[in-house]
Structure 1
Amino acid sequence: MFCLAVALIAVVTGAVYNATQQAPQFYTEALEFEPVDASETGEILEEQVFAFSNQVKKPRRWSLHLTDRQINGWLASDLKEKFPGILPETIEEPRVAVQGKTLLVGCKYKGQSLNSILAVSLDCFLVEGQPNVVGIQLHNVTAGSLPIPIGKLIDEINTYADKADLPLRWQQRDGDPVALITIPSEGPEIEGEIRIDALELKDGEILLSGETLKTEEEKQKEAMKASQSEVAESELAPAVESP
């Protein structure tokens, strides 16, 4: 009887371990990147983000269009080199995929009691009535093919957010936890106020668009200049018309 119990425990333990080692298909596909291809797509992403960062500094309409392939190329070729300490020590090789309107995020996790492929499915959206607030709704969280409690992931996210000084709030939506992140509307080099009006996910793509608006102070300055210009023109008019 004892031998049977030991054998049963060994079988169950082995089955659980094997289940935790199964990588989701999206993650396996996202890892398939030749170094040269990863570098090239990573460079394209950096160029687009750099151009975008310049766009938002001036009052105008702007947009940013990225693909999950570009993001994964950058993660594969540039993340470790350019931001070596940004990830917790337990996380390696993060990758993403956009399937329909769902964002899938996966990584290799190496903790004290678990070595596995973690994956989570997310919905990303703008929160109605709260300018520049992005909601990230967490759905399924898995270790390999096994579901794990979302609470553990939330604890990890909160710990990381505290260390990164990232303001984060939580609420519920359809029974799922939602992380609320406020995107700053102002900055030292931004000549106005940023307003995001669209965040769209569709197969393989992420689109962000909005506008940098002139501040009330800037509008008042322009109105004053226009008024002064009109006064100057009216004062010059009689002198021009006289013989």
Structure 2
Amino acid sequence: MFDVAGFLSKMKLSWKIATCAVVTLIVVISGISIYMYQATRHVPEFYTAALKIEPAAAQETGEILEEQVFAFSNEIRKPSRWQLRLTNDQINGWLASDLEEKFPKLLPSGMHDPRISIQERQVKLGCRFEGQQFHSVMSLAIDAYLVEDEENVVAIQIRNVAAGSLPFPLGSLLDEVARRAEEAKIPLRWQQVDGDPVALVTVPSEGDQIEGIIRIDTLELRDGEIFLAGETLKAPEAAVEPAAPVAPEADADQEIKTASRPLNTLP
């Protein structure tokens, strides 16, 4: 005989199990969503510190940076030894006071307030991102150094990219870097080092207003500053072709006879 009571009891138990499973799944998904939301809203400590700059101070340090870069651009044009040192404060001051006004289309859409933190052998960059689906602070860590055995080739090794505290896929970032380099006609190629993508940028050694050949021999990331040094070498003088031999003087009659002959047929 069919046990209706037992069947109903089992059905109730199954529904309870199913209900518990669904509730558990909802709780887990909700927890993950909350965690991901909070993770994307995380603001790196270096970025918070870099934002703390007064407008007047930002303008002053930004002007100092522009003056240094302008003097540097004039210095490297002539044969000489040169160097350039830029600090965190100078770069962040310029980013805060001048970037948006002078280069309004430099940053991709939705990004603003970029800041930088230079540390020993590492640069951290941060930028606010406001998209349709989420808002976050994008950050990445890079290393920059000269490539051995290749003149004027700078390696930029991308070590980490994150949205808040969550890892961010590199594909779109690398595509954007490649596109911007192509637009600016900057020679760029890619390698991998220790699993990290590395952009190899060739700095031109010659130019229309350069009175020589540029050679970079030092690029260092120090605590709080970037140091660059090198020299502009005097361009080798073009070889002077020897003058053609002068024919011995001839009388007027001989000149008339030889004037119409090619120079290399003179006796």
Shorter-chain TM-score bucket reads: 0.7 to 0.9
Counterpart amino acid of residue 15 in structure 1: Y
Within 1, Cα distance between the matches of 2:47 and 2:227? 22
Corresponding position of 1:82: 102
SS of structure 1 residue aligned to 2:43 = coil
1:220-239 map, 5 Å: none
**TM-score of the superposition, structure 1-length normalised?**
0.85
Residue 12 (structure 1) aligned with residue 41 (structure 2) = no
Q: Cα distance, 1:18 vs. partner?
A: 0.9
SS of structure 1 residue aligned to 2:230 = strand
Q: How many residues get paired?
A: 221
Q: Cα distance, 1:99 vs. partner?
A: 1.5
Q: Cα distance, 1:192 vs. partner?
A: 0.6
Residue 145 (structure 1) aligned with residue 165 (structure 2) = yes
**TM-score of the superposition, structure 2-length normalised?**
0.78
Corresponding position of 2:258: none
Structure 2 spans left out of the alignment, 5+ residues: 1-18, 243-267
- Contact 2:186/2:202 (<8 A) preserved: no
Describe the shift of the 1:175–1:101 C-alpha distance in structure 2 as closer, same or farther (beyond 3 A): same
1:46 aligned to which of 40, 60, 66 = 66
Corresponding position of 2:49: 29
Residue 120 (structure 1) aligned with residue 147 (structure 2) = no
Within 2, Cα distance between the matches of 1:45 and 1:188? 25
Counterpart amino acid of residue 32 in structure 1: K
1:179-232: per-residue Cα shift (whole Å, max 9, x none)?
A: 0111111111110111100001110011000000111136x68xx9xxxxxxxx
1:149-171: per-residue Cα shift (whole Å, max 9, x none)?
A: 33332123223333333321100
Structure 1 spans left out of the alignment, 5+ residues: 225-243
Within 2, Cα distance between the matches of 1:19 and 1:101? 27
1:187 aligned to which of 207, 211, 216 = 207
Corresponding position of 2:178: 158
Residue 107 (structure 1) aligned with residue 127 (structure 2) = yes
Residue 60 (structure 1) aligned with residue 77 (structure 2) = no
Within 1, Cα distance between the matches of 2:63 and 2:40? 34
Corresponding position of 1:206: 226
* Identity across the alignment (%): 55
1:113-163: per-residue Cα shift (whole Å, max 9, x none)?
A: 442111111110001111111000010111111122333321232233333
Within 2, Cα distance between the matches of 1:28 and 1:208? 27
* Structure showing greater Rg: 2
